[in-house]
Homo-oligomer: A and B are copies of this chain.
Amino acid sequence: MNVESKPKTALPLLVDKQYFTFAQPPNEMVLDSGTRLGPITLAYETYGTLDASKSNAVLILHACTGDSHVAGYYSNDPKSESRPGWWDNMVGPGKPIDTNKYFVICSNILGGCMGSTGPSSINPETNRQYGCDFPMVTIRDMVRAQKYLIENLGISKIMSLIGGSVGGMQVLRWCTDYPDMVASAIPLATTTRHSAQAIAFNEVARQAIMADPNWKEGDYYDSTGPIHGLAVARMVGHITYLSDEAMRNKFGRRLQERSSLSYDFGADFQVESYLRHQGTKFVKRFDANSLLYITKAADYFDLEKGDGCSLINEAITKITFLVASFTSDWLYPTYQSKNLVSALKKNGCDVSFCEIDAEWGHDAFLLPNKRLDSLIGQFLNRVYDECLSD
């Protein structure tokens, strides 16, 4: 087989997971809580090539349960049947976030469980997993850790930050905390702070985990773990990621593999079976403690609190913004994005805003959408040209 005769874009995008470790004791990173944490490892992946002027970097910030594997396949597993990265429709050669043109970086967040330091990591003081001895981390702490990674890659200014949901919170925190390191930012389907309802859903998820006797105050790594509670937590989350309309179109009241009601507590409806499947699948890939920590960080995030509105400051006005929300997203509804846009505009920022028509609810930012593709593609082209002309 002559591989070279294939067009270049038909080759699968291959990537390796890399690791960066810093904050070695006694120089640990000081967290928002005041606790010191170190060493810290971030798992990350890069796609494309950093240009000579180091001005084509795009940093993607993943959502609550995402990871660094944003696109393509791992190079040590090229023929695997495994699914490509979580945003493969958006990131790759010739795609809106074009890896032929941009140097794309994505790191697993601090507190996560996909290679970065989190509650399932080994605590060097005890040589056992941290569990709930892991200190609480905030969105600001996650971003601070990413900054060390970016600096280590020799990048002093990021061309564009992109992230949806909790990733969008990181985008915003980057802009407020390190505005001089950011040329442009694309916060998608996100908010400047959780509503009471969003906190409530997260709290139910946490309570479902903590109610599971196998949670054991977070010290479960030698045993089965709170798999039942974690599955329920995921089911709750999953409902909030979809929409009434999406669920009606996808499932309606269709029955599962039988033509009549069971009159028992089995899964009668397809939507029940789907949710159970989502719960079971999630348990295999995600750590319950990480879900506790990350949801709490999201609940704590509040750009409108503390030192006035952090979005109102001089340095941030140099950043160009593209804000997008989705019509059926009821977790972070459009009014929250509009509040963000108003604050940015009031501050004199260059902001484009689009509410994208989509039935898929909060998940819409992850799914193929031509409107979103063209918005992001064109915005990055513009920013790239501006960076080149600087």
Contacts and interface: CB of A to CB of B under 8 A. Distances in A.
Q: What is the interface residue range for chain A against chain B? A: 35 or more
A196 B248 contact: yes
Contact of A271 (B203, B208, B267): B203
A136 interface: yes
A276 B239 contact: no
A264 interface: yes
Contacts of A208: 208, 211, 232
Interface stretch (A7-15, A149-157, A160-168, A250-258): A250-258
Contacts of A193: 253
A194 interface: yes
A254 to B, nearest CB: 9
A70 interface: no
* Count of chain copies: 2
A272 interface: yes
Contact of A302 (B247, B253, B302, B305): B253
A189 B267 CA distance: 26
A93 interface: no
B207 A252 contact: no
B195 A265 contact: no
Contact of A204 (B33, B136, B210, B236): B236
Contacts of A200: 235, 239, 247, 271-272, 275
Contacts of A210: 265
Nearest to A305: B253
Interface string A262-302: 01110111011001100100000000000010001001101
A367 interface: no
Interface of A: 32-33, 35, 132, 135-136, 193-197, 199-201, 203-204, 206-208, 210-213, 228-229, 231-232, 235-236, 239, 242-244, 247-248, 250-253, 261, 263-265, 267-269, 271-272, 275-276, 279, 292, 296, 299-300, 302, 305, 330, 333
